[in-house]
Chains A and B, each alone.
Chain A
Amino acid sequence: MTATADRKASEDSPAAPTPIPLAAVVTSPGPWGTALRQIRRNRSAMASLVVFFLILVVCLLAPFYASSIAHTDPFASNVAGTTVIGGQTVPVLAPSTTGLGLGVTPIGPTWDLTHYFLGSDGQGRDVMARLLYGGRNSLLIGFSAALLCCLLAGIIGVLAGYFGGVVDGVLSRLLDVVWAFPVYLLAISLSVVLLTSGVRIGPISIGAGSLWLPVLIIGIVYVPYVARPIRGQVMALKEKEFVAAAIGVGSSDLRIMRRDVVPNVAPTVVVFLPLMTALSMLTESALSFLSVGVQPPQASWGTIINDGLDLLYTRPAVTLAPGIAIALTAVVLNLFGDGVREALDPRARLRGAG
């Protein structure tokens, strides 16, 4: 916008002293602009982004769907409730007809958006409404954990790479330990201790059932995956002439990090963000499936799969729907992430074309 406006201005006024080089400078889009153009041309990345936003919007409409379309409370059990299928009133949980006739079988998918579209779970709750609410939580946790992880990793990576020596030694050993610790086991240990009592670090207090607990846990366990490459990149940057020049001019460490180092590692962090969001979301779902992630009555895609475990052979929709939602979201995030990487990392682009 500004580029075209400037060019027009220079054309209109022939008195401008050096119109051509000025226009050339102004129209240069810079690294971010080039990347943006690159990714706009990447059809699979753009299609993925569209699908992702569709998923996001549908999940954000969860409260509207539950209150105005399905007229149901997805967090209250509805064991004795009834619903209407084809004009007939039927119980949500019918007595079981298989085996010994003990227990109950929830109704299956009605494919009617106003009544139990995907059927009910073992407690008579509308699976479709829970799927949307669960998606909200899964996406929120996935994105927040990825953001926290990239932020922590960026800080640790830049500090370790820039200062080297003792700072690097301590931080790198710390990363080594977390890296070597199997992710799920670390997350399980943290969850099992924290989930029943919550955590209090100084003024920040996170309650036991809070969604921020899985965010915190997943954000921490993946820090080494991002911090290690950033540290390496910062170490390489420190050898560059412009950093040497900045040191020679007498710039403070803080200024060099802010002006010279951070802008150069920012693309790496941005590349990691969609990929880490997918990974965090998958981890969240696995932890919730193991019952150490999102706590009831809250839902996430992982907890719904866990709810469907006992109903797998009778009502598979409870398990299938959230799994398809997770896989689809992760695929589009990964495809978009690959597009971002190709756009921001010229070396990856060369490799991909090779």
Chain B
Amino acid sequence: MVRFALARFGAAVFVLVSISVLVFLIFFATPGVDPAARIAGRNADQATLAQVQAEFGLDQPLPVRYALMMKHLFVDRDLTSFVNRGVLVIPQIVHAVPVTLSLVLGAAVLWMVVGVAMGTLAAAWRGRAADPLIVLVGVVGVSIPVYWLGEVVNLVTQSRLHDSVFSWVPPLGYVPLTQNPAQWALRLLFPWLTLAVLYAGIYARVLRSEMMGALDEDYVRTARAKGVSERRILIKHALRCSLIPIVSLFGLDFGALVGGSALLTEVVFGLPGVGRLTYTALQNLDLPVILGTVLYAAFFVVLSNALVDLVYAALDPRVRHV
């Protein structure tokens, strides 16, 4: 296990370094693009361009420039925006992280609970009417754009039915957990539901097919022959084994969420997280901010994936020998 953990983290470090090099090449070495003009923002004056030139060592060889970029990002953490003059990028990101984590963790809890319940029921009721319905919900889940679903939710809860059924829904925005836990949960409720609805269908679908496989296994037949009750077989035997691939899927999706759907959900629901920060920077072409959020988010995703792989290996010893 220790050897596996070391190997896994070695791979993660390699990927981290490669991603930072890739981002560096995209931002600073794309052929035909002047990095100084990009970073300084639209219609920058000569002095700003010169400042960017000096700060990122744009007249120096590539490895020096890479080192300078990493120094600004992770050592001195003094990357500044040129669009919003003098605003430090890293503190902005640090400030936005709790919002994104609140959104993603809450949605993850919801979709895991709902998805596992739906998948188990579908497997228990295989062949009945509910079963193909869950399969269809899974297909619809991967097909609806999450940001669009969020807008429809807003349309219903904030405008069309706001005077009647949804009069209790607070306006869009974020309240920190430490300030008012009830408001925190209430304001995040619909963003959580929006994200979770789509993923719950996918998870139910995957879990269903895993459990179908598990129910055909020999150990289930043995349990039946011993006289174990059908409910106990379903939960103690089939579900337990089928949850292992779900953990691995969860790791991938959790990472993808931070760098993808969460970004879109934050934009739609006006949550001031890392995704919205990236979005605002995109609107202003504020490249230092994008550089910062992309690298920090990518690092978070890689590390959380490595962590999930470790949990996976702890659950399923077969994986350790690959």
Q: Which residues of A come within 8 Å of B, CB atoms?
A: 173, 176-177, 180-185, 188-190, 192-194, 196-201, 278, 282, 285-286, 289-292, 302, 305, 308-309, 312-313, 316, 319-320, 323, 326-327, 330-331, 333-335, 338, 351-352, 354
Which among B159, B216, B263, B302 is the interface contact of A354 at CB below 8 angstroms? B216
Which among A177, A199, A200, A305 is the interface contact of B151 at CB below 8 angstroms? A305
The 11 sampled A-B contact pairs (Cβ below 8 Å) are A189-B294, A193-B26, A194-B33, A196-B285, A200-B31, A286-B260, A290-B282, A302-B145, A319-B155, A330-B142, A335-B139
Is chain A's interface secondary structure helix, strand, loop, or mixed overall?
helix
Closest to A308 in B: B151
For the complex, give the distance between the alpha carbons of A286 and B155 in Å: 19
Chain B residues lying within 8 Å of A183, measured Cβ to Cβ, are 256, 259-260
Least CB distance from B133 to A in Å reads: 13
Chain B residues lying within 8 Å of A326, measured Cβ to Cβ, are 143-145, 148
- 8 further contact pairs, Cβ within 8 A, besides A188-B278, A189-B27, A351-B213: A181-B19, A185-B259, A193-B26, A286-B264, A313-B159, A327-B140, A327-B143, A330-B143
Chain B residues lying within 8 Å of A351, measured Cβ to Cβ, are 209, 212-213
Contact pattern, B 142-179, Cβ under 8 Å of A = 1, otherwise 0: 11110111011011001100000000000000000000
Chain A residues lying within 8 Å of B154, measured Cβ to Cβ, are 312
Q: Taking the complex as formed, is B244 at the interface, i.e. its CB lies under 8 A from any CB of chain A? A: no
The answer on a CB contact under 8 Å between B32 and A199 is yes
Chain B interface residue bracket vs A: 35 or more
Closest to A323 in B: B148
- Known: A312-B155, A326-B148. Contact between A193 and B38, CB under 8 A? yes
- Known: A176-B15, A309-B151. Contact between A184 and B263, CB under 8 A? yes
Chain B residues lying within 8 Å of A302, measured Cβ to Cβ, are 145
Chain A residues lying within 8 Å of B287, measured Cβ to Cβ, are 192
The answer on a CB contact under 8 Å between A189 and B152 is no
Q: Taking the complex as formed, is B88 at the interface, i.e. its CB lies under 8 A from any CB of chain A? A: no
Q: Taking the complex as formed, is B255 at the interface, i.e. its CB lies under 8 A from any CB of chain A? A: yes
Q: Taking the complex as formed, is B301 at the interface, i.e. its CB lies under 8 A from any CB of chain A? A: yes
Which among B30, B148, B213, B294 is the interface contact of A194 at CB below 8 angstroms? B30
Closest to A322 in B: B148
Closest to A329 in B: B143
- Known: A188-B278, A320-B152. Contact between A177 and B147, CB under 8 A? no
Residue of A177, A180, A181, A326 with most partner-chain B CB within 10 A:
A180
For the complex, give the distance between the alpha carbons of A352 and B131 in Å: 12
Residue of B154, B209, B290, B294 with most partner-chain A CB within 10 A:
B294
For the complex, give the distance between the alpha carbons of A192 and B258 in Å: 19
Which among A180, A285, A286, A292 is the interface contact of B19 at CB below 8 angstroms? A180
Least CB distance from A137 to B in Å reads: 16
Closest to A305 in B: B148
For the complex, give the distance between the alpha carbons of A188 and B294 in Å: 9
The answer on a CB contact under 8 Å between A286 and B145 is yes
The answer on a CB contact under 8 Å between A177 and B19 is yes
The answer on a CB contact under 8 Å between A180 and B305 is yes
The 4 closest A-B pairs by CB, nearest first: A182-B259, A330-B143, A323-B148, A313-B159
Least CB distance from A349 to B in Å reads: 12
Least CB distance from A291 to B in Å reads: 7
- Known: A182-B298, A312-B154. Contact between A319 and B148, CB under 8 A? yes
- Known: A184-B263, A197-B33, A198-B32. Contact between A327 and B144, CB under 8 A? yes
Q: Taking the complex as formed, is B51 at the interface, i.e. its CB lies under 8 A from any CB of chain A? A: no
For the complex, give the distance between the alpha carbons of A338 and B139 in Å: 10
Which among A182, A199, A319, A352 is the interface contact of B30 at CB below 8 angstroms? A199
Q: Taking the complex as formed, is B46 at the interface, i.e. its CB lies under 8 A from any CB of chain A? A: no
For the complex, give the distance between the alpha carbons of A312 and B270 in Å: 14
For the complex, give the distance between the alpha carbons of A320 and B33 in Å: 38
